[in-house]
Amino acid sequence: MTHAWLPPAEYIATLPRATAYACLYFTDTRGRPFQLLATQASEHWQWPGGNMDPGETPWETALRECREETGLVFTGEPRLLGAHFTTDRGEDWPANHIGFIFDGGELTDEQIDAVVLDPEEHSAYRVRTLAEWEREMCPRSFRRLAAIDRARGTGGTVYLETAEDF
């Protein structure tokens, strides 16, 4: 089978579309995950982060979004805990979605107390044990949280795929 060479713009038009997000995974000093409650989807807990802007790297996105959503300025080095890929985000999202979850380290009680939420994006933040999060989150979101927490604990990286992991 032979393929004709296409100019880059034409070739790119044939490829699947994708959006990308990046976030920081924090725990408190006792190892309890820190999450934000989204205003647009009640009961949807998430990490500080969001969609990439044009020309931005995943790391730059994670830092910017964390600052915008919590007021926290993270100065650590990038350490990837996981990558997430899904093709199924519902009929109203006609693109693949790719995520990068970075290790934000531990937050002190003082840092947590200083969090200032953007009320347009999040209505609350919480620090809970994994057992407490499991009772509060939907199963597929909790599986993602638990996998990222395990990756941090082992020093590894996890790859998550499909809507079931999201």
Predicted pLDDT of residue 151: 97
Task: Answer whether 151's CB lies under 8 Å from 102's CB.
Answer: no
Residue type, 32: R
For 52, half-sphere exposure in the C-beta direction (CA atoms, 13 angstrom radius) is: 17
Rounded distance between C-alpha atoms, residue 33 and residue 130, angstroms: 7
Rounded distance between C-alpha atoms, residue 76 and residue 89, angstroms: 31
Rounded distance between C-alpha atoms, residue 4 and residue 108, angstroms: 58
Rounded distance between C-alpha atoms, residue 126 and residue 103, angstroms: 18
The answer for residues whose C-beta is within 8 angstroms of residue 148's C-beta and 6 or more apart is 25, 81, 82, 101, 158
Predicted pLDDT of residue 18: 85
Predicted pLDDT of residue 88: 65
Successive 10-residue mean pLDDT values, the chain, 166 residues: 80 86 98 94 86 97 97 97 82 81 98 95 96 93 95 96 58
Residue type, 23: C
Predicted pLDDT of residue 68: 96
Task: Answer whether 48's CB lies under 8 Å from 141's CB.
Answer: no
Task: Answer whether 101's CB lies under 8 Å from 53's CB.
Answer: no
Tell me if the domain spanning 16-165 has CATH number 3.90.79.10: yes
Rounded distance between C-alpha atoms, residue 60 and residue 6, angstroms: 32
pTM for this model (two decimals):
0.89
